[in-house]
């Protein structure tokens, strides 16, 4: 096999940032089979006493998800949270305009919090400011966070939850510049709503942090203007700016698809620069960080799903199959590269959420009768979440480059390192984007001194379109490679995502 030469340098002094573990968060929305038939299915043989699938809980616990954003998403635009609390037999069925489905409200605020306790995650709770507003947000905050003594806190107690949920992180709406949103707003309209909602919520509970919704995406017409207007108006009261990004490969152009993570990196840096500019302009002392709370690959089922939603008559289904992406091997490579970019920008990105968690754009897939399998993207998420906690270390990378349809000078090697919390291990996450050639890498660890390789995990496959399915759940799996005898030498196979663990002597 032909090979290319590359080099990376990692040094203790090349610190990017302490990594906020919430960067490994996820997203759960009342959409398709994410909730009903996914995390909740009381008829399934794996269901626990609360109706939650234990096999899903176990798989989520493998991913060690610290924060989960809920209940939407587009769903939240017409959501009435009061419909989802209290006795289940009195909860109304309502139309969900976002996905043209019927919402049964069998899972609401309290059930979500019960499930989060089972998987050891905290909530990012999203409030509806598209069709409701400030008072609704205050009422939900009171219901969740006050111990007792008010109408809504006492209502929670009457529902069997004596202790408050104490939710720390609250999101003000979702993608409200989108034409698909019920309650779409202009940049200035949303900026004022976000300001006044955040101001009121923090007056009611000074312990919370607030995430304001950014534009629906960097390709959207209001991108840039939306974020600038929002920060101008709301900067004293918001803590995070939400960003969303999905990548597509409808052209089936692997080289160009892998290059799109350069745009992802630029997207984060451009918003970081805007935040810095607005901080100076507003003479503000408030640091606003990035919450990249929807990121993933999404294109396989997108066209057909959107057509089926658009063409529905009055007979709207309950929890149909929607957005169930059959992620292939190259999708896993892109997801792994996006995780590398998040770590490389961990000084900016303090919260992130791959969208979503179960069945919908998900690493975890389920079927009836206790059947579960892991999509290809599960594995880079799993290993990065497990070993990517500590301090992010910037690499100096020398690599051959290539040009693709939309990008020039794309490095074949992309890598970042993480020094673990007790500084006994250094883990390098690396991807070889070459379609056909191995990368032989000279590794320079500078002031880390002598290192011993503990483990080399690689995600490789000869078929970029290989997928895991219920019938063949192990088509794409990580493998443990033979460890390099010398820490200074390394070979990465073509089209491979790699995790390299080193012990610091």
The β-bridge partners of 479 are 458
DSSP β-ladder status, 101-103 and 122-127: unpaired
The β-bridge partners of 441 are 6, 490
User: For residues 129-168, b (16+ Cβ closer than 10 Å) or e, as one string?
Assistant: bbbbbbebbbbbbbbbbbeeeeebbebbbeeebeebbebe
- Please answer whether residues 258 and 333 qualify as being in contact, where contact means their C-beta atoms are separated by less than 8 angstroms: yes
Which of 434, 479, 484 minimizes the C-alpha distance to 458? 479
196 as an active site residue: the answer is no
233 as an active site residue: the answer is no
Rounded CA separation 499/480 (Å): 10
The C-alpha angle with vertex 151 and arms to 146 and 155, in degrees rounded to 5, equals 80
Active-site residue, selected from the candidate residues 29, 82, 111, 175: 175
Rounded CA separation 156/165 (Å): 10
Q: Which residues lie below 8 Å from residue 423, measured CB to CB, with a gap of 6+? A: 390, 504
DSSP β-ladder status, 401-402 and 496-504: unpaired
Q: Packing angle between helix 254-281 and helix 225-234, nearest 10 degrees?
A: 30
3-class DSSP state of 391: strand
DSSP β-ladder status, 101-103 and 390-398: unpaired
- Please answer whether residues 226 and 184 qualify as being in contact, where contact means their C-beta atoms are separated by less than 8 angstroms: no
Active-site residue, selected from the candidate residues 294, 324, 325, 493: 294
Rounded CA separation 50/54 (Å): 10
Provide the annotated active-site residues. 175, 294
């Amino acid at each position: 096999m032909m090979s290319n030469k590359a080099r990376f340098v990692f040094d203790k002094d090349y610190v990017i940032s302490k990594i906020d573990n919430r960067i490994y968060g996820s997203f759960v929305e009342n959409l398709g089979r994410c909730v009903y038939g996914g995390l909740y299915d009381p008829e399934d043989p794996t269901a626990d006493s609360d109706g939650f699938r234990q096999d899903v809980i176990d798989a989520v616990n493998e991913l060690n998800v610290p924060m989960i954003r809920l209940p939407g998403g587009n769903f939240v635009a017409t959501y009435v949270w009061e419909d989802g609390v209290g006795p289940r037999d009195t909860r109304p069925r309502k139309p969900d305009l976002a996905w043209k489905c019927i919402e049964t409200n069998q899972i609401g605020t309290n059930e979500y919090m019960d499930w989060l306790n089972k998987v050891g995650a905290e909530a990012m709770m999203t409030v509806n400011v598209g069709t409701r507003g400030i008072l609704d947000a205050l009422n939900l905050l009171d219901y969740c966070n006050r111990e007792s003594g008010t109408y809504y806190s006492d209502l929670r107690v009457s529902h069997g939850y004596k202790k408050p949920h104490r939710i720390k992180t609250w999101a003000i709406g979702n993608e409200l510049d989108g034409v698909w949103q019920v309650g779409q707003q202009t940049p200035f309209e949303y900026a004022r709503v976000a300001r006044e909602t955040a101001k009121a919520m923090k007056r009611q509970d000074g312990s919370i942090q607030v995430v304001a919704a950014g534009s629906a995406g960097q390709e959207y017409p209001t991108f840039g203007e939306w974020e600038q207007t929002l920060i101008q108006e709301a900067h004293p009261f918001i803590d995070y700016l939400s960003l969303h990004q999905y990548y597509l490969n409808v052209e089936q152009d692997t080289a160009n698809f892998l290059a799109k993570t350069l745009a992802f990196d630029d997207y984060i840096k451009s918003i970081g620069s805007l935040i810095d500019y607005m901080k100076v302009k507003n003479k503000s002392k408030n640091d606003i960080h990035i919450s990249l709370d929807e990121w993933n690959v999404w294109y396989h089922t997108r066209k057909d799903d959107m057509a089926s939603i658009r063409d529905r008559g009055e007979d709207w289904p309950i929890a149909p199959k929607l957005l169930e992406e059959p992620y292939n091997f190259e999708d896993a490579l892109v997801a792994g590269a996006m995780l590398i970019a998040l770590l490389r920008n961990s000084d900016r990105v303090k919260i992130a959420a791959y969208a979503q968690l179960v069945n919908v754009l998900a690493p975890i897939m389920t079927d009836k009768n206790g059947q579960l399998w892991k999509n290809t993207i599960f594995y880079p998420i799993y290993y990065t979440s497990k070993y990517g906690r500590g301090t992010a270390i910037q690499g100096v990378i020398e690599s051959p480059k290539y040009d693709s349809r939309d990008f020039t000078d794309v490095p074949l090697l992309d890598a970042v390192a993480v020094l673990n919390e007790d500084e006994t291990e250094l883990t390098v996450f690396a991807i070889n984007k070459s379609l056909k050639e191995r990368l032989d890498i000279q590794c320079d660890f500078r002031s880390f001194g002598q290192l011993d390789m503990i483990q080399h995990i690689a995600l490789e496959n000869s078929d970029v379109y290989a997928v895991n399915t219920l019938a063949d759940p192990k088509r794409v799996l990580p493998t443990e490679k033979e460890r390099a005898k010398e820490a200074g030498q390394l070979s990465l196979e073509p089209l491979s995502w790699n995790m390299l663990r080193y012990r610091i002597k």
